[in-house]
A and B are shown apart, each in its own frame.
Chain A
Amino acid sequence: MTVGAPATSAPAAPRWLGCECCGLVSALPADGALRHCPRCQHVLHWRKPQSLQRTWAYLVAASVLYVPANVLPIMRTTQAFRDRPHTLMGGIAELWHDGAWGLALIVFIASIAVPLMKIGALALLAWSAQHAPQWRRLERARVFGLIEAVGHWSMLDVYVVVLLAAMVRFGALASAQAGPGLLAFAAVVVLTMLAAHSFDPRLIWQAPAPRDP
């Protein structure tokens, strides 16, 4: 494992801007006029515009939809002429009672723990970027990396229901349909992914006093 030399030893140019798409490094002109990467034309931002506002907006929307996602059934099944709704937690409880503890744990982490952790952690990151800029920077940066890496695993239950609904089609004997909670849950997953993408992790390292443009 090698570590690049810190920028203090790099050429004393004002501000270096890396393209997140192609990696090319450009110097930011004094008037901040650089808008696109000169090589691949990807948008360049010194900071993502309205990062915190957008993050908060997605987080609020995700939190609101989190309620119907958990209260409404994500799936309805008919088994031997009996109709039953299944909520997110209910499905996990069923797996647990069937003795499939490992699976119950996987689904619990993907469907309950990850979305909650993402909403909570992103709210903390967005709050601390404004109000506690110096607080535990390295840990905050690592938390953000984790959020980005695990976010899409919450799609797990959405796919499971889509597959079950398509396969369990034996009429009154046994059948499964997606419930109204599924769309709400899918929206929560997408909104938290958008919230994570809107948050600019460079805000964690921003110097507290002078605000950057």
Chain B
Amino acid sequence: MPDEQPSLAVCERCGQAHRWTRLAPREVARCSRCDAVLGRGHRLDLSALLALTLAAALVFLIAHGSDLITIRLAGAEQRTTFPMAVLHCWRAGEQGVAVLAAVTALLAPALFIALRLYLLLPLALGRVPAGFAACLRLLHQVSRWNTVEVLTVAALLALVRIAALAQASPGPGLLALGALALLLAAIESAGLRHLWWHVP
């Protein structure tokens, strides 16, 4: 695997070409001209990534399938999951906002996880899945629109703002959402380019 690495790397930010050597774990290579990160040494191998991604898939289902926040006011109770909130937004006539929220906070992370699983499972078994390059190109686009960490902070903010008005308590979905944000950050830090080393 190591000798299949390219011997050149071009900085994405400024176009400067550099000689490339394999990085040790935790090592960071920076562009000599614009100081942008060229690459990082990987701490995660294929099976570790697969395990993290499977965990992320499970946590994603918990985060969006269980209550984020429950509030009580004058004997009445309201609880919501994020997909239900988006649906409510759509029905209330704010279709534009609903689509944007669904794409960035639901679709992007769902694709982020599903496409990685589709790629990593066969690779771990020594096979290359069909449409490998197309999936990687799509993943490259998807990562930019993923905002799970922002949604986590937003849910906390909403909780605080409701608490001023009624009795509010966090649900299991909120905890899962925080865990999902951390998992996705860990998975993303490994990048995608190293997957090409496993392709003959």
Contact = CB atoms under 8 A, between A and B. Distances in A.
Interface residues of A, number: 68
A168 to B, nearest CB: 7
Contacts of A39: 133, 196
Contacts of B14: 141, 201-202, 204-205
A23 B192 CA distance: 9
A10 B17 contact: yes
Nearest to B140: A21
B127 interface: no
Contacts of A209: none
B188 interface: no
Interface of B: 6, 8-21, 23, 27-36, 38-39, 68-69, 71, 73-74, 76, 78-80, 82, 84-86, 88-89, 92, 94, 96-98, 100-101, 104-105, 133-134, 136-137, 140, 144-145, 147, 150-151, 153-155, 157-158, 160-162, 164-166, 192-193, 196
Contacts, number: 210
A147 to B, nearest CB: 12
Given A4-B38, A166-B84, A202-B13, A16 B8 contact: yes
A103 B161 CA distance: 10
Nearest to B41: A2
A152 B15 CA distance: 25
Interface of A: 1-7, 9-10, 16-18, 20-25, 39-42, 79, 95, 98, 100, 103, 106-107, 137-138, 141-142, 144-145, 152-153, 155-170, 173-174, 177-178, 182-183, 186-187, 190, 193, 197, 201-202, 204-205
B9 A25 contact: yes
Given A162-B89, A186-B96, A205 B157 contact: no
27 contacts: A1-B29, A2-B29, A3-B30, A4-B9, A6-B32, A10-B17, A17-B10, A21-B192, A22-B193, A39-B196, A41-B134, A98-B164, A138-B34, A141-B34, A153-B150, A155-B104, A156-B153, A160-B157, A160-B158, A162-B86, A162-B101, A163-B68, A163-B158, A165-B85, A165-B89, A202-B15, A205-B15
A169 B16 CA distance: 56
